[in-house]
Amino acid sequence: MLSDSIRVLRQSKENESGKIGEALILRGFEIEARNMEERLQQVTGRPHVPFDGNLVSQPDGEAVQP
């Protein structure tokens, strides 16, 4: 998920000295991404989880394209 990727990037910036400002900005982006993911799940009924370019839980009748 997007928020998980941003979290990993934020944690790496927190470990670097002098990167606290960047870590705080990334924390804001992480919160917004998680909010977006939750809204997408509420609207579509599916989690926003990319897996090889497709959603993990696809609606019935929708084929996975390679």
Give the pLDDT band (50/70/90) at residue 41. confident
pLDDT of 27 strictly over 80: yes
- Residue 4 has a pLDDT of 80
DSSP class of residue 16?
Answer: S
pLDDT of 49 strictly over 70: no
| Threshold 0.85, pTM exceeds | no
pLDDT of 46 strictly over 80: no
**pLDDT, average across residues 38-44:** 85
Tell me the average pLDDT of the chain.
75
Question: Cα–Cα distance between 52 and 34 in angstroms, integer?
Answer: 20
Question: Cα–Cα distance between 63 and 53 in angstroms, integer?
Answer: 13
